[in-house]
């Protein structure tokens, strides 16, 4: 009976409108959260154009183009630079030989460099070397594989290789320094998309430099910077003032990353704003329902019904609106996930259901949090209504 009396002023179509308006903001919120989760592999990846923000700088070509210790200290002191890493090069000549079964072998002179592991875009447990190891892992630029396959191999009749089998190609290294010549067996561990150099572990390069050419000075000709934003005007002005060079593609990639993050942040802000407005709309309309039933609520209280019994009716209304809103928002976000999947696959985003699981958990937290808030707010309004000293006890129109 109490529910029938209190729900006289409630229209189902009105409640459905409140629920759908609330679901719009929640859906935008969940969709953006889902995109953030799905694209974390891009923004956190070290080998993607949207990954860690690194910038490689160098000086103009010439006899004295090495970075000094004081210049490196100056770079580290800048607020817009997180840390720096130095490229160490081999102080000896390198001859690499590769032999394919049933094909003539190829030999070429090459170079070896090393940089701190924290700047390398490859994570592999085999990326290590110590004196006595039989093989040396090498990381090459990914475009080298393409140049070999579609250029050298195609014109020379040699077999093409892909990234899966490239590790099986044996490489013989002949290192000739000022004091000694040593031979090593090497293999290509992986291909880098960000560092355009032939890399070996720092331990190997330091060891061979000290053994083969101990009297040669190790100069730093290139510096890799870990920066907040490579397109930061302050950073670019600083590099220009020092006459340091860099690849413009790195700047363009960072701008793309910044724009994508900015767009996601703006959409997230819009979703939050709509969600807050819809929550305020639901609260306002619950208040109106309570005010419309002011006389009925007061009479029921005088007849012996407790505040809890009266509030339960409005709790149920708020819970229904909230439940419909979250279910609709969750369904819309899941549908959008499958709509966006083909577009995200272009950016090499793996299609997983992890984000859906996170959205379900987030939706549960939102439901519990808002339900508790609605409950507390409704109880407060009912208490004001039945209190003899309340300003809400005014004459109904």
Question: Three-state secondary structure along 296-314?
Answer: HHHHHHHCCCCHHHHHHHH
Contact 55, 230 (CB under 8 A): yes
Q: Among 21, 45, 1, which Cα is nearest to 322's?
A: 21
Q: Are 367 and 326 in contact (CB under 8 A)?
A: yes
Ranges assigned E (strand) in the chain: 54-58, 81-86, 88-89, 93-98, 106-110, 113-114, 135-141, 171-176, 181-192, 222-227, 245-246
pLDDT of residue 134: 81
- Least confident range from 64-68, 188-192, 201-205, 228-232: namely 228-232
Greatest mean pLDDT among 8-12, 343-347, 390-394 lies in 343-347
pLDDT level of residue 257 (50, 70, 90 thresholds): low
d(CA 267, CA 389): 45
Residue 10, judged by CB atoms within 10 A of its CB (0-12, 13-18, 19+), counts as middle
Residue 68 CA to residue 48 CA, distance in Å, equals: 31
Q: Which residue matches tokens 């195609």? A: 154
* Structure confidence at residue 48 as a pLDDT band (50, 70, 90): very low
Please state, in angstroms and rounded to a whole number, the distance separating the CA atoms of residues 80 and 239.
Answer: 12
pLDDT cut 90: percent of the chain above it: 6
Q: At 136, is the pLDDT very low, low, confident or very high (cuts 50, 70, 90)? A: very high
| pLDDT tops 50 at residue 395 | no
pTM: 0.57
Residue carrying the six token digits 């609520």: 297
Q: pLDDT at position 47, please?
A: 43
Contact indicator for 173, 153 with CB cutoff of 8 Å: no
pLDDT score of 396: 42
State both tokens at 219: 């100069």
What integer is the mean pLDDT of 140-147? 80
C-alpha 213 chain-centroid distance? 43
Fill in the DSSP letter of residue 169.
S
Answer yes or no: are the C-beta atoms of 289 and 10 closer than 8 Å: yes
Residue 102: the pLDDT is 61
Mean pLDDT for all residues in the chain: 77
Token pair in block for residue 191: 């291909």
The tens digit of pLDDT for each residue in 287-297 reads 777 777 677 77
Please name every residue paired with 343 in a beta bridge, in sequence order, or none if there are none: none
The confidence score (pLDDT) of residue 254 equals 63
Of residues 219 and 12, more confidently modeled:
219
CA 173 to chain centre: 38
Calpha distance 46→123 (Å, rounded): 9
User: 3-state DSSP call for residue 97?
Assistant: strand
Rounded Cα distance, 328 and 315, in Å: 20
CB 257 within 8 A of CB 53: yes
Q: How far apart are CA 352 and CA 337, in angstroms?
A: 10
Cα 126 to Cα 174: distance, rounded to the nearest angstrom: 22
Q: Are 120 and 195 in contact (CB under 8 A)?
A: yes
pLDDT tens profile 2-39: 555 445 555 667 667 767 777 877 888 888 788 777 77
Do 60 and 233 touch, CB atoms closer than 8 A? no
For residue 10, is it left (φ>0), alpha (ψ between -120 and 50) or beta?
beta
3-state secondary structure of 232: coil
Tell me which of 267 and 325 has the higher pLDDT.
325
Are 293 and 9 in contact by the 8 Å Cβ rule? The answer is yes
pLDDT in tens, 163-211: 677 777 788 999 998 888 889 999 888 888 778 888 999 999 989 988 8
135-141 and 181-192 beta bridge pairing: parallel
Q: pLDDT over 70 for what percent of the chain?
A: 78
Domain chopping of the chain, boundaries: 2-46+255-395, 54-227
pLDDT of residue 200: 92
């Amino acid at each position: 009976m109490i529910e029938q009396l209190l729900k006289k002023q409630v229209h189902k179509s009105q409640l459905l409108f409140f629920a759908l308006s609330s679901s719009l903001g929640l859906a935008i919120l969940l969709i953006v959260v889902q995109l953030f989760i799905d694209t974390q592999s891009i923004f956190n990846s070290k080998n993607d154009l949207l990954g860690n923000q690194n910038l490689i700088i160098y000086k103009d070509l010439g006899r004295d183009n090495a970075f000094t210790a004081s210049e490196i200290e100056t770079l580290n002191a800048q607020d817009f630079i997180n840390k720096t890493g130095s490229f160490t090069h081999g102080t000896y000549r390198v001859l690499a030989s590769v032999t394919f079964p049933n094909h003539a072998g190829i030999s070429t002179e090459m170079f070896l460099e090393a940089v701190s592991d924290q700047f390398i875009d490859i994570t592999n447990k085999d990326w290590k070397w110590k004196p006595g190891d039989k093989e040396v892992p090498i990381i090459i630029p990914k475009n080298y594989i393409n140049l070999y396959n579609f250029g050298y191999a195609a014109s020379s009749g040699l077999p093409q290789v892909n990234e899966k089998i490239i590790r099986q190609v044996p490489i013989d290294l002949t290192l000739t320094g000022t004091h000694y010549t040593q031979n090593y067996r090497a293999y290509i561990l992986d291909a880098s998309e960000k560092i355009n150099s032939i890399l070996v572990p720092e331990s190997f390069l330091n060891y061979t430099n000290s053994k083969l050419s101990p009297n040669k000075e190790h100069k730093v000709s290139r510096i890799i910077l870990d920066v907040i934003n490579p397109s930061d005007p302050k950073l670019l002005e600083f590099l220009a003032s020092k006459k340091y060079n860099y690849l413009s593609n790195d700047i363009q990639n960072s701008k793309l990353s910044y724009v994508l993050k900015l767009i996601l942040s703006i959409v997230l802000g819009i979703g939050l704003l709509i969600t807050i407005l819809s929550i305020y709309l639901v609260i306002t309309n619950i208040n109106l329902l309570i005010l419309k039933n002011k006389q009925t609520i007061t009479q029921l209280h005088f007849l012996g019904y407790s505040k809890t019994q009266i509030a339960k009716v409005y709790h149920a209304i708020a819970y229904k609106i909230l439940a419909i809103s979250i279910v609709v928002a969750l369904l819309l976000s899941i549908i959008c996930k499958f709509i966006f999947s083909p577009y995200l696959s272009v950016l090499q985003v793996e299609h997983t259901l992890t984000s859906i699981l996170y959205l379900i958990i987030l939706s549960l937290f939102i439901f519990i949090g808002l339900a508790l808030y609605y409950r507390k707010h409704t109880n407060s309004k009912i208490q004001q209504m039945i209190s003899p000293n309340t300003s809400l006890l005014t004459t109904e129109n």
